[in-house]
């Protein structure tokens, strides 16, 4: 990032700390991803140990590896954590997997998280939505607004690149972590979300990570077929005969009858494009 | 799979054949699944080849193209893609 852009990001971090201090005690909807980890660490530095609580909502749609990473970041930076179980899969409106599925998930999350936070004296609840997210298909943002959840990163204009840059400066291990949306994002809209399907996708992605794949990776669920999206930079190596055979074996081992590799490679919101929710 | 408009698999398959890739194409709405053998898969390793295939796919109504990974004997020589 150029020096002036880096300076702007640093200025935004100062503004974020001031914003947090003005709120007093803050609870964060915490996934351990790039954005919420950055927000939690800045809050910890600005507000002290008693001023911030990172709250994790756990369910079958939240990858176990993501949970473990979240706990590691919280431990390393001394951020207090509370875990709640969420039950979005029990909501038939969510399980039917409409294009506004995220709204029902976030409604379940905030309905449980906000009262718990307020009961513990955390008067402000925030999430890690950033300015780039506002340009994407994000029906969950409506649920945040309905529950008075603030999005200071977005409000202060933090882009994802700026959050990564400042995360690096703060020594956060998440600075170059790939984005990690929930596992339900691997299922096309209209394909019902079940614990079994989410577990199948999670097994397949873990098997591919075990092959040494780093960076962006998704296993998209198409009934009997798994469609693998890799970082475009990695495609050439993995399309060769022997590596592709290992990919296929790993994903078949996770329970998919058929395995295919996407020729364009990873793109965020890929299934939104497939369904015409976003443009290609 | 979705309410999104399906691509034209036969036309895409015919266009691939002109490129030198003779393989069956399955349409799953906006997703085309190519049933490539080892030689055809080898031809898709290069970025330029993939760009050609992706451009053709878009022309025939597909937003996504994936090549199925089947158990194939390795070591088959790759066909040359034609302009």
What tens digit of pLDDT does each residue of A23-51 get?
Answer: 999 999 999 999 999 999 999 999 999 99
User: Where do the DSSP E strands lie in A40-140?
Assistant: 52-58, 80-85, 124-126
Instruction: Give the model's confidence band at A125: pLDDT under 50 very low, under 70 low, under 90 confident, else very high.
Output: very high
Please report residues of B whose CB lies closer than 8 A to that of A191: 1
**Whether residue B74 has pLDDT greater than 50:** no
End-to-end distance of chain B based on CA atoms, in angstroms? Answer: 33
Q: Give the mean model confidence (pLDDT) for residues A188-195.
A: 96
Give how far A253 is from chain B: nearest CA, Å. Answer: 14
Backbone angles phi, psi at A136, to 5 degrees: -105, 175
Average pLDDT in the B58-78 region? 76
Contact state of B1 with A188 under an 8 Å Cβ cutoff: yes
What per-residue confidence (pLDDT) applies to A181?
A: 85
* Contact residues on chain A for B70, CB-CB shorter than 8 A: 248
Predicted confidence at residue B78, as pLDDT, reads 42
Of A190, A263, A273, the CB nearest to B66: A263
Whether A225 and chain B come into contact, CB under 8 Å, resolves to yes
Q: To probe the interface with B, which of A233, A260, A264 has the most B CB atoms within 10 Å?
A: A260
User: DSSP code of A10?
Assistant: H
pLDDT of residue B77 exceeding 80: no
Q: In the numeric block, which tokens belong to residue B52? A: 């050609």
Span between the terminal Cα atoms of chain A, in Å: 27
Q: What percent of chain A has pLDDT over 70?
A: 96
Neighbours of A107 (CB within 10 A): 20
Burial class for B37, CB neighbours closer than 10 Å (0-12, 13-18, 19+) = middle
Of A92-106, A108-122, A220-234, B69-83, the least confident: B69-83
**Residues of B whose CB is below 8 A from A189:** 2
pLDDT (0 to 100) of residue B34:
96
Count of H helices and E strands in chain B? 3, 3
Complex confidence, ipTM: 0.84
How many residues comprise chain A? 280
**A46-55, A83-92, A239-248: least confident range:** A239-248
In sequence order, the β-bridge partners of residue A228 are A219, A261
The pLDDT of residue A237 is above 80: yes
Which chain A residue is nearest to residue B4, measuring alpha carbons?
A: A275
Which structure tokens are listed for B44? 């898709």
Q: Where are the beta strands (DSSP E) in B29-69?
A: 31-35, 64-68
Whether B50 sits inside 8 A of A263 (CB atoms) is yes
Neighbours of A23 (CB within 10 A): 18
Of B41, B63, B67, the CB nearest to A241: B41
d(CA A26, CA A97): 32
Residues 51-110 of A with CB under 8 A from B: none
Residue A242 contacts B, CB cutoff 8 Å: yes
Interface residue of B35, B64, B72, B74 to substitute, partner A, most A CBs within 10 Å:
B64
Query: Coil, helix or strand for A169?
Result: helix
Distance from CA of A276 to the nearest CA of B (A): 6
Specify the pLDDT at position B5: 66
The mean pLDDT of chain A is 94
Which residues of chain A have a CB within 8 Å of the CB of B53?
263
Of A223, A236, A241, the CB nearest to B38: A241
pLDDT score of A144 more than 80 = yes
Please say if the pLDDT value at position B1 is more than 60: no
pLDDT at A178: 87
Q: Model confidence at B71, in pLDDT bands (50, 70, 90)?
A: low
CB atoms closer than 10 angstroms to residue B71: 9
Q: Which of B1, B28, B42 faces A241 most closely, judged by CB atoms?
A: B42
């Amino acid at each position: 990032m150029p020096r002036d852009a880096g300076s702007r990001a640093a200025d935004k971090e100062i503004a974020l700390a001031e914003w947090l201090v003005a709120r007093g005690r803050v609870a964060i909807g915490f996934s351990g991803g790039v954005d919420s980890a950055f927000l939690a660490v800045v809050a910890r530095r600005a507000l002290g140990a008693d001023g911030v609580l990172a709250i994790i909502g756990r369910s079958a749609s939240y990858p176990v590896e993501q949970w473990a990473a979240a706990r590691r970041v919280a431990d390393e930076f001394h951020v207090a954590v509370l875990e709640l179980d969420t039950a979005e899969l029990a909501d038939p409106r969510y399980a039917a997997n409409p294009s506004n599925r995220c709204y029902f998930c976030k409604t379940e999350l905030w309905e449980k998280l906000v009262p718990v936070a307020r009961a513990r004296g955390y008067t402000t609840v925030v999430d890690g939505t950033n300015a780039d997210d506002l340009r994407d298909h994000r029906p969950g943002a409506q649920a945040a607004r309905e529950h008075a959840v603030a999005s200071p990163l977005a409000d202060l204009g933090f882009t994802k690149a700026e959050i990564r840059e400042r995360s690096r400066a703060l020594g956060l291990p998440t600075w170059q972590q790939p984005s990690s949306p929930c596992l339900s994002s691997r299922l096309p809209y209209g394909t019902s979300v079940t614990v079994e399907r989410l577990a199948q996708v999670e097994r397949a992605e873990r098997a591919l990570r075990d092959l040494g794949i780093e960076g962006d990776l998704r296993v998209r669920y198409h009934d009997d077929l798994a469609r693998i999206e890799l970082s475009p930079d990695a495609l050439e190596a993995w399309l060769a005969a022997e590596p592709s055979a290992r990919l296929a074996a790993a994903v078949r081992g996770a329970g998919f009858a058929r395995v295919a590799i996407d020729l364009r490679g990873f793109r965020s919101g890929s299934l939104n494009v497939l369904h015409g929710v976003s443009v290609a | 799979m979705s309410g999104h408009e399906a691509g034209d698999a036969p036309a895409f398959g015919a266009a691939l054949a002109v490129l030198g890739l003779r393989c069956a194409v399955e349409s799953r709405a906006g997703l085309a699944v190519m049933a490539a053998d080892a030689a055809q898969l080898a031809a898709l390793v290069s970025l330029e080849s993939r760009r050609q295939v992706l451009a053709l796919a878009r022309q025939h109504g597909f937003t996504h193209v994936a090549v199925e990974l089947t158990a194939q004997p390795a070591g088959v020589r790759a066909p040359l893609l034609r302009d």
